[in-house]
Amino acid sequence: MTDASMQTPETGRHSVSLTATDAHTRKRANAEKRFRAYGIAAIATGLFFLVVLFTSILSEGIPAFKRTVISVDFTLTEAQRTEAEGELFKTKAYSNLFIAALKSELDERGLNVAVDEAAIERLLGKVGGTIRTFYSDNPDKIGEPVAFDLTASSRVDGYFKGRVSRDTMQDSRFLQKSDLDLVDALEEAGIVKQAFNWPFITGADSGVDNPGGAGIGASVVGSFFMMLVVLGLSLPIGVAASIYLEEFAPQNRFTDLIEVNISNLAAVPSIVFGILGLAVFIQFMHLPQSAPLVGGLVLTLMTLPTIIISTRASLKAVPPSIRDAALGVGASKMQAVFHHVLPLAAPGILTGTIIGLAQALGETAPLLLIGMVGFVARGYPDGFLAGFTEPNSAMPAQIYTWAARADVGFYEKAWGGIIILLIFLLSMNIIAIILRRRFERRW
C-alpha cells in the first residue's frame, strides 16, 4: 500500500487544457462520428428498401385498377335484329353491324382508317356474341341507342400502359402492328378510354391466356371464409389455452411440455404446417382439397401460438389485486377469471387476435400444399356453407398463381392483388392499433 503514496503522479497529460484537442482525441472523435454514420446508414438502407418496395408495388400495381374500354353508341333496330337472327352465322352478323356503327362514328369525326372484322376480334374478342347476349337479355332496349363499354384485349391494354410498344412487338394472332393504327385512331376519336377496373375487384380468375379478364374477387371470398374458420377456432381455443396456462396450470412436467411445444410451434416454418395439413386433413381425414375449410384449419394451427402468446401477455397484465378482490367476496377461481380478469384483458386479446389473423391472411406457403394453387377459381361459392367446402383460392395463393403464369399480363394483376392484400392487412393493423389506443389501461 505504501507504493501508492511513494510515486509521484504523472502530470504531463494533465497540463493540457480541456478545450484543446490533441491528435488522439480527434481520432477518437472521428471514430465516434464514423460509428454513428454506420448506424444512420443502416437505418437509411432499411428505409430505402422499404421505399423501393412500396414504390414498385404501387407503380406496378396501380395500372391493374385501370382497364382500356372501347365505348361505342350503338342502336339496333328491330329489322336489323330479325335479319341478323335469320343468318347462318348470327354472331358474325352482329359483329358486322357493330363494325358498321363504329365506322360511321369514325367517319363522322373525319378519321379514315381500315376497320376489318379480324382486327376488331383481336381488339375486342368476340364482340358479336356480347352484343347478341345483351339484346336477348334486354329486348326492350331494341331501337334505342345503347352505350356499350367493351373491354379491350390485354395486348391493347398493354399498349396504353407501356407494356406493348410498336418497336418491340411482333405480329401475332393476338395483335398486329396495323391494329395499333386503328387503336390510335380510336383514341383520337375518344372511343378508346381508360376506365376503373371493377371487374378486377369483383371478378374471378380467368384462363391462362386471358390476363385481361382475371379478377381477385373470388379469392377474396376464399380468404374471407378461411379467416372465418381461423377466427372461429383460434380465438376460443387460444383464449382457453391461455387461461389454463396463466391461471390454472400447476407447476408440473405436463405444463412445461405444453409451454415448450407452444414456443417451438411459433418457430416452425410455415411450409411444415402445410405438410401437416396435407398429410392429416387431406390424406388421412379425406377433407376436400383446395377447400377454405382445410386452409382455415391449417392456418388456425399456425396462428394459435401467436394468439396464445399475446393473450397470456394481456392476462398477465391484469394485476393480481383484481383476482384477490374477487376471491375475497367468495367467488370461485373460475368466476374470478371469467367475470373479472377476462373482460379486463379482452382489448389486449382482441388486438393480438387481429394481428394473428393479419399474419394468417398473408400466409401462402401452406396453402400451396393443400391445393389452393393451380386451381382456377372461376366463380363465387354457391352459398354460405358451400363457401367452406367448395374449392376456392385465397388472395395470396391467387397472387402466386398469377406470378407463376407465363403471360406477363398476369404480373400486373399480381401486383394489383398485392395492393388489395396490403389494404386488408393495413386496415386490420389500424383497427388493432386503434383498439389498443382506445382501450389500453395502465395499471
Within residues 281-340, the interface with other proteins by CB under 8 A covers: 283-286, 301, 304-305, 308, 332-334
Report how far residue 142's alpha carbon sits from residue 138's, in angstroms, rounded to the nearest whole number: 8
- The three cell numbers of residue 384 are 354460405
- Name which of 134, 123, 131 is nearest 92 in CA terms: 131
**If binding is defined by CB under 8 A, does position 425 make contact with other proteins?**
yes
Residue of the chain from 169, 342, 373, 420 that contacts other proteins (CB under 8 A): 373
Asked if 62 contacts 68 with a C-beta cutoff of 8 angstroms, the reply is no
Return the range that interacts with other proteins (CB under 8 A); candidates 35-43, 142-150, 173-181, 206-214.
35-43
* Residue 280 in contact with other proteins, rule: CB under 8 A: yes
Q: What is the DSSP string of 43-91?
A: HHHHHHHHHHHHHHHHHHHGGGGEEEEEEEEE---HHHHHHHHHSSSHH
The verdict on 168 binding other proteins (CB under 8 A) reads: no
Distances (CA, A) of 298 to 148, 264, 304, 365: 46, 16, 10, 11
Q: Which residue has the cell 504523472?
A: 10
**H-type helices in 203-291, by residue range?**
217-243, 253-265, 270-276
Out of 77, 138, 165, 261, point to the residue binding other proteins (CB under 8 A): 261
- Residue 53 touches other proteins, criterion: CB under 8 A: yes
Looking at the Cβ atoms of 28 and 437, the one nearer to other proteins is: 28
If binding is defined by CB under 8 A, does position 200 make contact with other proteins? no
7 binds other proteins (CB under 8 A): yes
What is the closest distance, in whole angstroms, from the C-beta atom of residue 166 to other proteins in the complex? 22
121 scored as a contact of other proteins (CB under 8 A): no
- Tell me: does residue 257 bind other proteins (CB under 8 A): yes
Nearer to other proteins, 201 or 425 (CB): 425
**For residues 380 and 289, what is the distance between their CA atoms, to the nearest angstrom?**
17
Using CB under 8 A as the binding rule, whether residue 228 contacts other proteins is answered as no
Q: Which is nearer to other proteins, 179 or 246 (CB)?
A: 246
Q: Which amino acid is at 308?
A: I
Which residue type, as a one-letter code, is found at position 164? V
Q: Of the ranges 13-21, 97-105, 157-165, 222-230, which one interacts with other proteins (CB under 8 A)?
A: 13-21
Is residue 368 part of the contact set for other proteins (CB under 8 A)? Answer: yes
Nearest residue (CB) to other proteins, 88 versus 267 = 267
Which range in 91-99, 202-210, 271-279, 319-327 contacts other proteins by CB under 8 A? 271-279
Among 62, 237, 327, 435, binds other proteins (CB under 8 A): 237
For residue 249, the minimal CB distance to other proteins (Å) is: 7
Tell me if residue 193 falls in helix, strand or coil: strand
378-388: burial string, b at 16+ Cβ within 10 Å, e else: eebbeeeeebb
Near other proteins by CB under 8 A, which window of 27-35, 159-167, 180-188, 224-232? 27-35
- Residue/partner pairs of 201-208 with CB below 8 Å, 24 or more apart: 201/65, 201/420, 204/377, 204/378, 204/379, 204/380, 205/376, 205/377, 205/378, 205/393, 205/398, 205/401, 206/376, 207/376, 208/405, 208/406, 208/407
Nearest distance from residue 283's CB to other proteins, in Å?
A: 6
x-or-dash string of contact with other proteins, 180-199, rule CB under 8 A: --------------------
Q: Please report, as a single letter, which amino acid is at residue 156.
A: V
